[in-house]
Chain A
Amino acid sequence: DVKVTQSSRYLVKRTGEKVFLECVQDMDHENMFWYRQDPGLGLRLIYFSYDVKMKEKGDIPEGYSVSREKKERFSLILESASTNQTSMYLCASSLAGGPASGNTIYFGEGSWLTVV
């Protein structure tokens, strides 16, 4: 059974804190993604990675960075959390070739982040 695991389900952080969201997949997928989901806005891509140490900006990368040191692990970093980053964050993965090649995106359970 496919598995994308996000280590933190619910977090409350203060403005200005550095926040780490960790994600691990056990499917040996090449591609990993970080999305955020907000009511009425759908899922928006923050960053993605198609290989170890490789990263590409998505549609809303400002205020975020990522790290992929191992194939199975993709971390999202909020350098200085702000209240407008309160959201649900979804990690996902897919096989090489990506969704444009018909490869399904598998999602983790999500991390609910509140910045106060």
Chain B
Amino acid sequence: QKEVEQNSGPLSVPEGAIASLNCTYSDRGSQSFFWYRQYSGKSPELIMFIYSNGDKEDGRFTAQLNKASQYVSLLIRDSQPSDSATYLCAVPLGGGGFKTIFGAGTRLFVKA
């Protein structure tokens, strides 16, 4: 059973702080990794995509990937109240298939 694990939270950080969200996965064959943001009552929307080991930065967001340790993380710098949402880690299964395993998500709360 392939799994993606996330701390469900809630993770609470003050406005302006760095929020760190972590995700571990079990399928060693997975090559690409996604972070989605989901506001309450809304559908998930893409935040970041990463497939190479190391860091990938996009504005206030940085994704970090370590395939050897099988974890991927998302850092949000200068957190804003509008960042308050659930963040989903998504890992397509290796082997070129279409199945993606989603973590249950980490709830982030940014306090003004």
Bound complex: CA of A106 vs CA of B100, how far in Å? 13
| Interface size bracket, A side | 20 to 34
Interface size on B, residues (CB 8 A): 28
Inter-subunit contact B98/A99 (CB<8 Å): yes
Q: A42-B88, A45-B99, A58-B99 are in contact. Are A104 and B34 (CB under 8 A)?
A: yes
Inter-subunit contact B95/A100 (CB<8 Å): yes
**Interface residue stretch chosen among A11-19, A75-83, A107-115:** A107-115
Inter-subunit contact B97/A100 (CB<8 Å): yes
The chain B residues found within 8 Å of chain A, CB to CB, are 4, 8, 30-32, 34, 42-46, 49, 51, 88, 90, 92-100, 102-105
The chain A residues found within 8 Å of chain B, CB to CB, are 31, 33, 35, 40-45, 48, 50, 56, 58-59, 90, 98-102, 104-110
